[in-house]
Chain A
Amino acid sequence: EVQLVESGGGLVKPGGSLRLSCEASGFTPSNFFMSWVRQAPGKGLDWVSSISASRNFTYYAESVKGRFTISRDNSKNSLYLQMHSLRAEDTAVYFCARSYGFNTFYYAMDVWGQGTTVTVSS
């Protein structure tokens, strides 16, 4: 079964750091764009970051650029999001998602994890 399982969320003080993990099973994540998407309480979906399939190019939303780092460990079939200088507005459920290239050029997030909750509060 194709599956993504996130972990690493928790309560952290403003200015603190946290590292999220996402473990894939049923497919090889290194063959896909992988992304992090977050959802603040009661709010909509917000793309955070993506990493490319082959050369590990990384991309970030302006709101997290310079504070968050996306990476992957192919030997562990895992994706990570290192978060520094956390702010109250980073409070959200963080999902990892696979981007599949339908017909090789229509990319869409077709597999999602269940999410991990990050709360930034003093």
Chain B
Amino acid sequence: DIQMSQSPSSLSASVGDRVTITCRASVPIDNYLNWFQQKPGRTPKLLIYGASNLQNGVPSRFNGSGSGTDFTLTITSLQPEDVATYYCQQSHSVPIFSFGPGTRLHIK
């Protein structure tokens, strides 16, 4: 099974900051990597698919990059509404998926 890890597990930043979340796969997964945002009490929302492709309607301040085993989600200018937990997910072994443990993002 492909295992996913994320760092940091929790992050606090100020409005306007550049924020970076890292995801690592246990084996190379090319660019079969998705990012989700889950706000408190809400359903997960797809942000990025294929490592770097922005889902329709997602603000352009969200960027994804990486390939192989190491991936990054960047928020270029943090906004108050970005408070959420962010999960990476591999789709290399679809339809068997696996998620990272999540990164909880707070505002300072």
Interface residues of A (CB under 8 A from B): 33, 35, 37, 44-47, 50-52, 57, 59, 62, 95, 99, 102-103, 106-110, 112-115
Contact across chains for A109 and B46 when beta carbons are under 8 A apart:
yes
Contact across chains for A45 and B43 when beta carbons are under 8 A apart:
no
A44–B88 Cα gap in the complex (Å)?
11
Q: Chain A interface: which of B11-19, B72-80, B97-105?
A: B97-105
What DSSP secondary structure best describes chain A's contact surface?
Answer: strand
Closest to B34 in A: A108
A-B contact pairs, 27 of them (CB 8 A): A33-B95, A35-B97, A37-B97, A44-B87, A44-B99, A44-B101, A45-B36, A45-B38, A45-B99, A45-B102, A47-B98, A52-B95, A59-B96, A99-B94, A99-B95, A103-B50, A106-B34, A107-B91, A107-B95, A108-B91, A109-B34, A109-B46, A109-B97, A110-B46, A112-B43, A112-B44, A113-B43
Contact across chains for B99 and A46 when beta carbons are under 8 A apart:
yes
A64–B32 Cα gap in the complex (Å)?
25
Q: How far apart are B87's CB and chain A's nearest CB, in angstroms? A: 5
B55 close to A (CB within 8 Å): yes
Q: How far apart are A60's CB and chain B's nearest CB, in angstroms? A: 9
Residues of B within 8 A of A102 (CB): 49-50, 53
Contact across chains for B91 and A106 when beta carbons are under 8 A apart:
yes
